[in-house]
Structure 1
Amino acid sequence: MDSSLHKHYHDEEFDPRGFIDTYFYPENNDMFEEVLVYPITQLFKTFSSEINVIEFTDVNIREFEMWRNKEPGAADWSHAAKIVCELEGKSEEWQGKEDKARRAVKRVVKCDFTKDNPLEPVVLPQMDCLLCMFVLQVVSKDHQAFCSNLKKLASMLKTGGDILLFGTFNKSYYMVGEHKFFYLSHDEDLIREAVCEAGFIIESLESMRTKKTSILADYEHVIFLIGRKEREGSESEREEDTAEGPEQWPVRIGDFDRLYRDLKTLLQAEIQELREDVKTRGERTGAMEVKMAAATKSIKKADKKSTYLQT
């Protein structure tokens, strides 16, 4: 089935309770260990005294607030708290653990990646740590949007801050009730390229191969990536922010002109190699798209700088 026909949860009607019941309860759920137990285990040593929750839909925000305020009819997440307490060897203290998590949430903010400031009109201080669980691939409709949205998340982090990213490899959909929802399919190469382009150093990337197949979702691995933010934006973006002019160069202008022309030739050769690879493979992977887009952008910059130097 064409993935373009799948629904997008942040654009169309979505049942948050049906989603929770399907994927986050152990009863009759083959993926429970992979979508809940595995992330909790990985995050066992991670903690924060203040949590800001970012969500994309009003209905999901409402569902979360019901749990946060202990409202009647709220989803039961006690099993998640029990998993944490079992890891700590204090299984009898799960109620206090869940209440502590509720108190740690300071605010819930709606996010819209179509805006330059996704949290507008709210302005938050940059964070020390950002946890993104299976959502970036849900709200990004193509690989270019994925890279752009990841950079917007990076802007919310302090330099030196960490992003904790959970996702899956080669997944295209997930079911909620009778509805099939879109999930951006990608491989490890795309994740690594996008994370590095967004200004992160990858400190670790672990994966767990799925143990069972299910009609609820198609994926091969669940992944957990930790990235440390080393800078603001990509290398190319930082160059665009710097002033340009011949007075900056302490060497001859002609040398730089030749350098940019040589660079353009190399980049054009790289693009041609990628095109030949596409013909050989018979498909175009996400990593190829990222590389071709980066090379094309660099060529335009080389042309711009070469023209400027000539004038």
Structure 2
Amino acid sequence: MDCGPKKFYHKHDFHSRDYIETYCSDKPDMVFTEDALKFPMMNFHYVFSSGFVKGDVLIDVSMGPVIHHLYSACDVFKDIIILKLNEKCNMETSKWKDSRTGACSWEHTSAHAAKLEGKSAQVQDKDQQLKTAISHIISCDFENENITYPVVLPLADCITSLWILDSICKDQDDYMSHLEKISKLLRPGGHLILLGDLDTSYIMVGGHQVHLLTYDESFVKNALSKLGFVIDYCAVQKRRSESKLCDYKAVLFITAYKAK
């Protein structure tokens, strides 16, 4: 698929609404339900409900204005801080949190979260619970050693990150450098949860090819080990969708605690 030079999520104009509608919506033609919604939500529900990932402060740094993975987190964490590299994604997320006109609807994912918890009748409560738990939505920049500069955040008990390293890293050295910056926001003993696509190179957003870094499962595991993390849960789901919008082969979900 030749759509001109690839764009970078954090450097070029990013169509945040198109990203949501294409990859995370409840539209009948949305083919990524199993890989982009159900697989992440199932695994986040498992690690948070099992009790081995816990604490008070969670920091999320993810690609796009996604929040569906945080429904399970708000059952555990009182304070959720969301970091966004892209201003449009920042605004889109804030619009949803403040229930403003024109905000993206995440009702289909809050309903799925309630179903996972066996509370299907409490969809609206689940949505409001997450909005209440989110204390800040702030900008970040991986060009800085402290990515939230000049803001200094409390060390998190847990950091969640969906597809952000895939989308901002031009090579594997970049991945290591940016992963280390993320890890500095985490307290010793805290958990890092990563979700990414394996053996991929692009994703289509707004008619443009957006760069994604190509890597495999062993690379991520080695990167975490080098930075002093110990992996305690890993799940891989082979691609279940047929589409030329993205060329990934599988989805990786991995949790690791910061041993040092």
TM-score, normalised to structure 2's length? 0.86
Partner residue in 2 for 1:16: 16
**Equivalent AA in structure 2 for residue 10 of structure 1:** H
- Of the three residues 175, 178, 189, the one matched with 1:160 is 189
Distance 1:71 1:32 in 2: 25
Contact 2:3 2:209 in 1 (8 A): no
Contact 2:232 2:256 in 1 (8 A): yes
Q: Secondary structure at the match of 1:59?
A: helix
Distance 1:199 1:119 in 2: 22
Larger RCO, structures 1/2 (Cα 8 Å, 6+ apart): 2
- Listed one character per residue, the Cα deviations across residues 118-141 of structure 1 (whole Å, up to 9, x for unaligned) are 110000110000000111111111
Distance 1:205 1:89 in 2: 24
Partner residue in 1 for 2:153: 124
How many equivalent residue pairs? Answer: 231
Contact 1:167 1:223 in 2 (8 A): yes
Q: Compute the displacement of 1:4 (Å).
A: 9.8
Alpha carbons of structure 1 residues 215 and 2: separation in structure 2 relative to 1, 3 Å? closer
Contact 1:52 1:105 in 2 (8 A): yes
**Equivalent AA in structure 1 for residue 13 of structure 2:** E
Contact 1:3 1:172 in 2 (8 A): no
Any unmatched runs of 5+ in structure 1? Answer: 232-311
Select the structure that is richer in helix. 1
**Equivalent AA in structure 1 for residue 106 of structure 2:** W
Partner residue in 2 for 1:53: 82
**Equivalent AA in structure 1 for residue 119 of structure 2:** K
Q: Secondary structure at the match of 1:150?
A: helix
- Listed one character per residue, the Cα deviations across residues 246-285 of structure 1 (whole Å, up to 9, x for unaligned) are xxxxxxxxxxxxxxxxxxxxxxxxxxxxxxxxxxxxxxxx
Partner residue in 2 for 1:33: 34
**Equivalent AA in structure 1 for residue 10 of structure 2:** H
Partner residue in 2 for 1:105: 134
- Of the three residues 120, 123, 127, the one matched with 1:91 is 120
Contact 1:9 1:139 in 2 (8 A): yes
Contact 1:4 1:182 in 2 (8 A): no
- Of the three residues 246, 251, 257, the one matched with 1:217 is 246
Q: Are 1:201 and 2:224 an aligned pair?
A: no
Contact 1:3 1:173 in 2 (8 A): no
- Listed one character per residue, the Cα deviations across residues 159-192 of structure 1 (whole Å, up to 9, x for unaligned) are 0000011011101000113111000010112111
Alpha carbons of structure 1 residues 39 and 160: separation in structure 2 relative to 1, 3 Å? same
Partner residue in 1 for 2:61: none
Counterparts in 2 of 1:221-236, with a 5 A limit? Answer: 221-231=250-260
**Equivalent AA in structure 1 for residue 241 of structure 2:** K
Q: Compute the displacement of 1:2 (Å).
A: 8.7
Q: Compute the displacement of 1:15 (Å).
A: 0.9
**Equivalent AA in structure 1 for residue 96 of structure 2:** W
Q: List structure 1 runs of 4+ shifted beyond 4 angstroms.
A: 1-4
Contact 1:154 1:199 in 2 (8 A): no
Q: Which moves more between the two structures, 2-11 or 190-199?
A: 2-11
Distance 1:3 1:169 in 2: 22
**Equivalent AA in structure 1 for residue 219 of structure 2:** L
Select the structure that is richer in strand. 2
